[in-house]
Structures are given as C-alpha cells and as structure tokens.
Chains A and B, each alone.
Chain A
Amino acid sequence: MPYLAKIKVTLRQSILDVQGKAVDHALKNLGYRTVESTRIGKYIEVTINEEEIVEAERIGSEISRKLLSNPVMENYSLELEHIK
C-alpha cells in the first residue's frame, strides 16, 4: 500500500534568502504593510510503495537527507500520508 511522502525543504535561518527578499519587496509594493518577512522553500511529493509505515518513513528520511535537501543550508520535514 503506497504512502505519499510530503517533504518540505526550507533554508536554514542563517542563510540569506534572496528569492524570499525579492518576493517580500513585491508584497510590500503591492500594499501589504503588515507582511513582515518571506522565505521560500520547496515542497516535494514522493510516492513510496511500502507496506509498513516504518519502512516508508525510513526511506523518506534517507532520501530527504541524501538528495532532496542539502543539510549545509537546508532543513527538511517529512509527513507521510497513507494512499488508499
């Protein structure tokens, strides 16, 4: 039974987010005065065909660390959803 791994990859706080800054300026120019800050990350969906959630989670974490995120500059979070 497949699981849908929902992975969010975000820049560490110490990293300058130039894209986020550009979007933030644009939002302020659009008149949203109460918008304080903007940071941009990635959302990745991976379908993992495993029976056990423990195995799906193991694979999800491994691929997140190995390829989907760069630990030097990014954090990731993993959520699993059972696909019926």
Chain B
Amino acid sequence: MSEIIVGVVVFPGSNCDHDTEYAVASFSGIKPVMLWHNDHDLQGAKAIILPGGFSYGDYLRAGSIARFSPIMQEVIDFADKGFPVLGICNGFQVLLESGLLDGSLSRNRDKKFLCCQTTVKAVNRATIFTSLYKEDEILSIPIAHGEGNYFAPPEVIESLEEHDQIVFKYSDAQGLVTEESNPNGSLKNIAGIINRQGNVLGLMPHPERASEKRLGSLDGRGLFESLFRHIACV
C-alpha cells in the first residue's frame, strides 16, 4: 500500500516544522512532506499542517504576514474544497488571520510567555481530528506561546457553541473548566476550535510534543491518528 502524504508548511520563522514532521512520520503508512511557503505545490498531500513557530518574527501580529504567503492560496483552496487543515499554535494564528477560522489571538492575560505542560479537555469528539478520544477526555499537552489569548465577539462565541465548534478547552486534571486552569485568559478557556464544515482545526497546544513517551505524554497521538484514519478512508 502506498504511503499517504501529509504536507507540513514551512514559513520563514516556523520552528516546530521538524518536530511535526517527526511526529507525523511515526505513524505507519503516512509520509510527511515539507512545503515551502513560496511554492504553489501541495505535492499530493491529503492533509495540510501549519506548524508552530514565529513566522515572520510575529511582526505586526502573529501569523498576519504568513497568511499572505504564496502557498496560502493553495491551502485556502484546499480547505474550501473540504480537505483537512490543522493549525498548531502559530499555525492556528495563521488560520485565524486568513479567515479559515473565526476569532483572534492576542497577548496572554498575564503578559508572560508560557512554556509548560497543560491540561486540555477534548470537549467534542465528533470531529475528524478527535474521533479516537473519549468524550471529555483529559489530555496532557504542552503549550508554548506568548499570544494565546483567544477572543471573538459575543455573536461568534455564541455561534461556536451552538454549532459545537469548540473542540478543546483548558481544564484542570479533573476536567473542570475553571479560571485557575486557564493559562492565558482565552474566552471560555478555548484552546482549540474547528470550522463549521468540520475540516479546519486550530489549537494552541502542541500535540507533536505529546507524541512520544520520553517527551512525557502520548496524548497528542490521538489527534494525529484520528486525522490519519480519516484520510486513509476517504
């Protein structure tokens, strides 16, 4: 059986691209390919990942310039056609800036760059990215960001809730979604959301850093495996 290709976009300043490639390559039957931001070729990818990092130095606003990179025309087209796109951390910021997801991310509430293990709850397992998690499963996944404070106007939050588009929330170890368990001030403790169509997911935590036992957690593997099972079946 030939391998399924998953594209990992590399912007100038991306620094989690190799970790993402490494995590993706650990799944059998899946081949990661690196897609340079200046190219227009998705190289037959069945899913696209926008990795974490500091594309364009986070200049102007995080993700605001990467959003206009040449390859984003193909990525947006790919997403509009219903194919899966996953944005991790800076990748999530790029998806928000491009309008593929609604809302915005700004400076963490306590002003500090946070680099730590965090607990998130998979509040919606009815997505192609979370089908292998149990409902409300509690996951240990690290975050590493200075601008992870999710905001959206009230009508957008209402719509996200109405259509079950909130996929991950920061919680405590018992699964309680509290202010104390919210590391960055995100509205409703939102850590990750999906679009209405269900094919574009953005999250601030780094599942690729929770994909190997020696990194301290395997909880990120469920996200990748759910996605790869989906693309293997379509």
Q: Using a CB–CB distance below 8 Å, which chain A residues touch chain B? A: 11, 14-16, 18-19, 22, 67-68, 70, 72-73
A72 touches B107 (CB 8 A): no
Q: Does B163 contact A (CB under 8 A)?
A: no
Binds A, one of B6-14, B38-46, B60-68: B60-68
Inter-subunit contact B109/A16 (CB<8 Å): yes
Contact call A18/B153, Cβ cutoff below 8 A: no
Known: A72-B151, A73-B106. A19 touches B111 (CB 8 A): yes
Chain B positions 99 through 131: 1 when the CB is less than 8 Å from some CB of chain A, otherwise 0: 000111011111100000000000000000000
Partner of B151, one of A15, A19, A22, A68: A15
**For the complex, what is the distance from the CA of A72 to the CA of B151, rounded to whole Å?**
8
A56 CA / B102 CA spacing, docked (Å): 30
Q: How far is the CB of B172 from chain A (nearest CB, A)?
A: 23
Which B147-176 residues sit within 8 Å CB-CB of chain A? 149, 151-153
> Known contacts A67-B60, A67-B64, A72-B102; can you find 7 more A-B pairs with CB under 8 A?
A14-B153, A16-B109, A18-B106, A22-B111, A68-B60, A70-B64, A72-B151
Whether B151 lies near A18 (C-beta < 8 A) is no
What A residues does B107 contact at CB under 8 A?
18-19
CB-defined contacts of B109 to chain A, threshold 8 Å? 16, 18
**A50 to B232 CA separation, bound complex (whole angstroms):** 53
In the complex, the answer to whether B60 meets A18 with C-beta atoms within 8 Å is no
Neighbouring A residues of B60 by C-beta, 8 Å: 67-68
What would 30 A/B residue contacts be, using CB atoms closer than 8 Å? Answer: A14-B153, A15-B106, A15-B151, A16-B106, A16-B109, A16-B149, A18-B107, A18-B108, A18-B109, A18-B110, A18-B111, A19-B107, A19-B111, A22-B111, A67-B60, A67-B64, A67-B65, A67-B68, A70-B61, A70-B64, A70-B97, A70-B104, A72-B96, A72-B102, A72-B103, A72-B151, A72-B152, A72-B153, A73-B104, A73-B106
A14 CA / B157 CA spacing, docked (Å): 14
Q: Which residues of B contact A11 (CB under 8 A)?
A: 106
Closest 9 CB pairs of A and B: A72-B104, A73-B104, A18-B107, A18-B111, A70-B104, A70-B61, A22-B111, A73-B151, A73-B106
- Bound-complex Cα distance A68 to B65 (A): 10
Chain A residues within an 8 Å CB radius of B111: 18-19, 22
Chain B residues with Cβ below 8 Å from A15 are: 106, 151
Q: How far is the CB of B202 from chain A (nearest CB, A)?
A: 14
B185 at the interface (CB under 8 A from A): yes
Query: B151 — which chain A residues lie within 8 A by C-beta?
Result: 15, 72-73
A14 to B156, CA, bound (A): 14
Q: How far, in whole Å, are A73 and B149 apart by their CA atoms in the complex? A: 12
Using CB atoms, name the residue of chain A closest to B107: A18
| A67 contacts across to B, CB distance below 8 A | 60, 64-65, 68
Q: Which residues on the B side are within 8 Å of A70 (C-beta)? A: 61, 64, 97, 104
